[in-house]
């Protein structure tokens, strides 16, 4: 009797099993893409905040020198290096402009906007990062929003920027020492190095006209040769004036080139490789092609390629040939070219092509790891 009342249990059909598997894969894919997205953007936002704070600090230092470039010119170059975000036109008040780029949360290029974005992404995947990471990022967030930071900015903006940079560096160090070096950590590296590649290429493209033009010494030599060929003579007073102008131009270019290196935290590292002989060609070579310096574009692209490979090795989806080819093409381009070849061609176009390739790689990463379809997930 009891057996007659018991409902008949049917074995699941093959189609039902397939549907159930697809649902599980979709759920896992959604979870994994959400985590990857948040880790990737948390890292990019922090790298962007660091880059903005450091470039602002260097720009303000350069403005203390009343040389050949006006404060407005240097500010415009700084804004161009950030990608020409809106609402940052020069007002003539450096302190007010600096406070805006640091504390204006409505401006997408500001430091506080980037820190807010990093913390929000970290909050959404709180269980995926360590307690030390969350505490360090939370401290940075509350510090930059505190009245003490606002007061400190009115006294010394440089001190505020230094404290922000220290907070970001501490977060990066904690991330490397407290987080399992699995897929999540690799997505952090992926965001960091792709953002750094793009920002360094943008910075070099903005500085490129100053790097490739003749130096004051070269200009004086060419001018003297021209006068000798035409048989013209110069008085002692004219020669003294030209010598003074040459020295002023040489000093100005030295400060600008050191400023460029400092924007990439590269001055000491450059001197270890080339000594203190600051040369425009060597600066371009170092920041583009050096494979051992963490802010050089070649190093960043190579680290991006390693991160993609590591994501696959730790159980992630196999990257498509299109993505590997794009990163590999850029890596080979930087590995098998010389600074002489770059300078003999169009250096600005070369740098711009790096930026375009970085954008293409970002779009492919997003399409493959973040916004992929369930059909593509099932086929891998």
User: Binning pLDDT at 50, 70 and 90, where does residue 99 land?
Assistant: very high
Contact 306, 297 (CB under 8 A): no
pLDDT given for residue 376 in this prediction: 45
* 82-96, 202-216, 264-278, range with the lowest pLDDT: 202-216
Q: What sections of 2-110 are H helices per DSSP?
A: 2-5, 14-62, 71-81, 94-103
For residue range 46-68, list pLDDT tens digits in order: 999 999 999 999 999 998 876 66
Per the rule left: phi > 0, alpha: psi between -120 and 50, beta: everything else, 367 is: alpha
- Supply the pLDDT for residue 79: 95
Do residues 22 and 378 lie in contact, with contact meaning Cβ atoms separated by under 8 Å?
yes
Kindly tell me the number of DSSP H helices and DSSP E strands found in the chain: 18, 0
Contact residues for 110 (Cβ-Cβ < 8 A; gap 6+): 52, 100, 101, 102, 103, 104
Q: Give pLDDT, residue 371.
A: 78
How does residue 194 score in pLDDT terms, banded at 50, 70 and 90? very high
**323: pLDDT strictly greater than 60:** yes
pLDDT over 90 (residue 315): no
Whether the CB-CB separation of 163 and 150 falls below 8 Å is answered with: no
Whether residue 83 is predicted with pLDDT greater than 60 in this model: the reply is yes
Structure token pair of residue 160: 């505020």
Compute the average pLDDT of residues 161-180. 97
- Predicted confidence band of residue 320 (pLDDT cuts 50, 70, 90): confident
Cα separation, 271 vs 265, whole angstroms: 12
Residue with tokens 């004036």: 241
pLDDT band at 317; cut points 50, 70, 90: low
Q: What is the mean pLDDT of residues 88-114?
A: 94
If one compares 18 and 109, the residue with the highest pLDDT of the two is 109
């Amino acid at each position: 009797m009891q057996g007659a009342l018991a409902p008949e249990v049917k074995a699941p059909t093959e189609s039902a099993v397939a549907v159930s598997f697809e649902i599980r894969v979709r759920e896992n894919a959604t979870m994994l893409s959400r985590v990857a997205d948040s880790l990737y953007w948390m890292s990019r936002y922090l790298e962007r905040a660091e880059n903005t704070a450091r470039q602002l600090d260097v720009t303000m230092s350069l403005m203390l020198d009343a040389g050949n470039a006006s404060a407005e010119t240097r500010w415009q170059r700084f804004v161009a290096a950030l990608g020409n975000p809106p609402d940052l036109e020069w007002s003539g008040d450096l302190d007010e402009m600096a406070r805006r780029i640091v504390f204006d949360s409505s401006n997408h290029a500001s430091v506080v906007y980037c820190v807010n974005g990093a913390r929000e992404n970290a909050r959404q995947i709180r269980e995926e990062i360590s307690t030390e990471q969350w505490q360090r990022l939370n401290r940075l967030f509350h510090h930059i929003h505190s009245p003490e930071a606002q007061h400190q900015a009115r006294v010394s903006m440089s001190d505020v920027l230094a404290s922000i940079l220290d907070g970001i560096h501490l977060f990066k160090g904690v991330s490397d020492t407290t987080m399992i070096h699995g897929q999540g950590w690799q997505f952090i590296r992926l965001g960091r190095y792709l953002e750094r590649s793009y920002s360094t290429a943008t910075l070099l493209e903005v500085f490129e006209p100053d790097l490739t033009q003749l130096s004051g010494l070269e200009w004086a030599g060419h001018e003297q040769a021209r006068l000798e060929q035409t048989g013209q003579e110069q008085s002692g007073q004219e020669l003294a004036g030209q010598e003074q102008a040459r020295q002023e131009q040489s000093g100005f270019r030295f400060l600008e080139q050191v400023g460029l290196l400092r924007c990439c935290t590269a001055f000491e590292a450059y001197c270890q490789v080339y000594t203190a002989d600051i040369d425009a060609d060597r600066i371009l070579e170092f920041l583009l092609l050096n494979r051992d310096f963490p802010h050089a574009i070649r190093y960043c692209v190579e680290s991006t390629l390693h991160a993609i490979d590591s994501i696959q090795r730790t159980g992630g989806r196999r990257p498509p040939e299109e993505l590997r080819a794009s990163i590999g093409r850029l890596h080979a381009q930087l590995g098998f070219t010389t600074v002489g070849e770059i300078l003999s061609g169009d250096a600005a176009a070369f740098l711009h092509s790096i930026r375009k390739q970085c954008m293409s790689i970002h779009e492919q990463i997003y399409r493959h790891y973040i916004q992929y379809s369930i059909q593509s997930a099932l086929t891998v």
